[in-house]
Structure 1
Amino acid sequence: MSLNQLVYISQATRKMSKEELLDLLAQAKANNARIDVTGSLFYNGGWFMQVLEGPEATLAKLVARIENDPRHQDFRLLYNEPAKFRTFVRWSMNMTNLEDRQTDKYDELVDVIEAAKTDRKIGTLSPAVTLLRLFSH
C-alpha cells in the first residue's frame, strides 16, 4: 500500500455557516476513519483548502467524489505526491475555520490560501508544499 498526500483548493458555491462546517467535519471524520484517510480542512472567505493522506487508490476515488460535490466549484488539485509518513496522523479530519481568526498559524494559512487562489508561489515553494511544511515541524 503506497501512501500519498494531496492538497486541493476549491471555492464554496455559497458561504457556509459554522454549523454547516461542523456538519461537514463530522461527515468527513466518519467517512475518512472508515477508509484510512487522515488530513485537515481549512476554510476562509468561501474557499476550501484540504490536505488528504492515505492509500493512493483510495485518495483517487475520494477526490473524484469531492470534485463532483455540489458544494464546490473551481476545484484545483495542487499537489499529489507519495509520502513517507502522515503529517496529520492524529486526525481522520481536522478543520480550521480561518474566519474565527483564532488559530496560531492564521497569517501563514491565509497567505497559503491566497497564494493558491492566484497560482502564486510563497518564496520558491508552492502553496501546497508551504502548507505541508507548516504542519510537519
Structure 2
Amino acid sequence: MALITLIYVSSAVRPLTNSDIQDILRHSREANAKSDITGLLLFKGGNFMQVLEGDSELVDELHQKIINDSRHTGLITLIRSPIPKRSFSDWKMGFKNISQLTEEEKAAHSDYLDRPLNDTSYISNPNEAFILLQAFKNTVR
C-alpha cells in the first residue's frame, strides 16, 4: 500500500448551515472509515481546505468524487505526494470551523487566520496549507 497525502481547497456553491456541515462530516466519516482514509477538514467563510491521507488509489478515487461533487466550485489541488506515515491518523475526518473561533483561540494563531482558505498564498506556497492544517491538528473534534 502506497500512502499519500492530498490537500485541496474549494468553495461551497451556496451558503452552508451547521446542519449541512454536520451532514457532510457524518457521510465523510462513514465513507472514510470503510476506505481507511484519514484527514482534517477546515471551513471558513464558505471555503474548505482538506487534507486526505491513505492508500493512493483510494485517496485519488475520493478526490475525483470531490472534484465531481456539484456542491464544490473552484477546487484546486495544492499537494499530492507520497508519505511514509500519516500525520492525521487520529481521525476519519477531523473538523474545525475557523469562522467560529473565539478571540482567545484566534490570539493563539498568527494573522494567517485572516486569509480565506482559498487565498493565493496557499496556491503559490502549498506548504503553508500544510502548516495551517497542522496548527489545528490537536484542536479538532
Deviations 1:59-114 (A, max 9, x none): 11111000011110000000111111111111101111112114946874982683
Q: Map of 1:74-89 to 2, 5 A cutoff?
A: 74-89=74-89
Structure 2 length normalisation: TM-score? 0.82
CA contact under 8 A between 2:44 and 2:116: conserved in structure 1?
no
Distance 1:127 1:32, change over 3 A: same
1:18 maps to which residue?
18
CA contact under 8 A between 1:120 and 1:126: conserved in structure 2?
no
Counterpart amino acid of residue 120 in structure 1: S
1:126 maps to which residue?
127
Q: Percent identity?
A: 31
Q: Map of 1:1-137 to 2, 5 A cutoff?
A: 1-102=1-102, 104=105, 108=109, 111=112, 114=115, 117-120=118-121, 126-134=127-135
Report the Cα distance in structure 2 between the residues aligned to 1:49 and 1:62, rounded to whole angstroms.
15
Q: After TM superposition, give the deviation of residue 28 of structure 1 in Å.
A: 0.3
Report the Cα distance in structure 2 between the residues aligned to 1:84 and 1:15, rounded to whole angstroms.
37
Gaps of 5+ in 2: none
Structure 1 length normalisation: TM-score? 0.84
Deviations 1:33-81 (A, max 9, x none): 0001000100000000001000011111111000011110000000111
Gaps of 5+ in 1: none
CA contact under 8 A between 2:96 and 2:136: conserved in structure 1?
no
Report the Cα distance in structure 1 between the residues aligned to 2:65 and 2:10, rounded to whole angstroms.
13
Distance 1:8 1:105, change over 3 A: farther
Distance 1:74 1:109, change over 3 A: farther
